[in-house]
Structure 1
């Protein structure tokens, strides 16, 4: 049986995994997904990695369409994903509702878990937030960086630090056991990223790729998308 090959940002992993069974029923195919930092997944496609479908940030999908690597007419927005803060299950509640709250929480943390600050959407943004808060130099040694947000959250969940905190996209937090969502980054430092699926120009299973896109955006799965952390897109 042929697999549908996907290159996807980690933000969409939970959604894809929950819809694999429905996809298998209509297509007869399984999914072979590689999930990681958006920048890394785009680089893999540019380097010639085989893929039928990409699920990346809208901005990156537009870039890939301009480079002739994905079919622009197939680009379909899945939803908005906020960048948020997490702590371990059982840890004391912290406040992150204002910039001052967030600064205080980060300065109090012994370890700070984040995805790649060079290639991951949330990691790149979080690095900027640290600069904007004026604490980048003070917390650099406490940063624990990983290739993607879910890996960062898994390490947060087993951290032995007295006070540990993490920042990544809300879908990756909700899809990782052992961590709990605190809340989105505060106004002025927030980030909501639109994730978009598109069929690649080199797809060997373009029809099946379209079937998965249709399943992901099916109105009947709206509650599932919301529970995983995909918000509606403001138009």
Structure 2
């Protein structure tokens, strides 16, 4: 089956999956591609990986536009995603209202599941937060780092640790069976990231890519975006 090709941050994977059948009905095309750390996805586009559409942080899409990898007339914001905490579905939720609460919660965990701490939006933020809290060295051996948040959350769901916790984009938590959104990060440690879509300048399916962007950002689908973890 012919498909449009996507390079996207993991934050948008659940929302894109919800729209795949509608896109196919409207264009006859499926969706193929990769969802992962935004920095790696941007580098793949720069390196020549075929793509019709990208969904990355606004900052990265703007940079790719300036580098002439994304059509400037196609760029539209999809919504804001917060970085949040996750626990297994049957574990007690962890509520953190202050930095001290967050430090205690992370110290109490015997495994901390996170995405790539060098290339993913949430993973980079986790690394900075651990430094800010002064516990980076203390919990280093308990970090369970995976290429993207979706993989990290699936591994959290399957974990046999006694007190595991996860931290990644809220959208990736919501889209993963077996775990639940435990709560937001506290003031001073929160992260809210705008995700933005654009058509690649070397797109083979420009019209279908624009249709997908319309589906992602349509006002009539604001409730779907909210349920999948997007706001704004």
Structure 1 residues 23-42: aligned runs within 5 Å = 23-42=23-42
Q: For residues 27 and 93 of structure 2, what CA distance do their matches in structure 1 show?
A: 44
C-alpha displacement of 1:26:
1.1
C-alpha displacement of 1:175:
0.2
Instruction: Quote the residue 2:129 is aligned against.
Output: 129
Q: For residues 99 and 72 of structure 2, what CA distance do their matches in structure 1 show?
A: 38
Q: For residues 59 and 136 of structure 2, what CA distance do their matches in structure 1 show?
A: 26
Q: Does 1:152 align with 2:152?
A: yes
Q: Where does the alignment leave 5 or more consecutive residues of structure 1 unmatched?
A: none
Q: Which runs of 4+ in 1 moved over 3 A?
A: none
Q: For residues 41 and 31 of structure 1, what CA distance do their matches in structure 2 show?
A: 16
C-alpha displacement of 1:97:
1.8
> How much is the aligned-residue C-alpha RMSD, in angstroms?
0.7
Instruction: Quote the residue 1:220 is aligned against.
Output: 220
Q: For residues 113 and 143 of structure 1, what CA distance do their matches in structure 2 show?
A: 6
Q: Does 1:203 align with 2:203?
A: yes
Structure 1 residues 58-137: aligned runs within 5 Å = 58-137=58-137
Q: Is the partner of 1:23 in helix, strand or coil?
A: helix
Q: For residues 5 and 87 of structure 2, what CA distance do their matches in structure 1 show?
A: 33
- TM-score, normalisation: structure 1: 0.97
C-alpha displacement of 1:95:
2.1
Deviations 1:129-176 (A, max 9, x none): 000011001000000000000100000011111110000000000000
C-alpha displacement of 1:93:
2.4
C-alpha displacement of 1:2:
2.0
C-alpha displacement of 1:216:
0.9
C-alpha displacement of 1:220:
1.3
C-alpha displacement of 1:33:
2.6
Q: For residues 33 and 222 of structure 1, what CA distance do their matches in structure 2 show?
A: 24
Q: Does 1:12 align with 2:16?
A: no
- TM-score, normalisation: structure 2: 0.98
C-alpha displacement of 1:35:
0.6
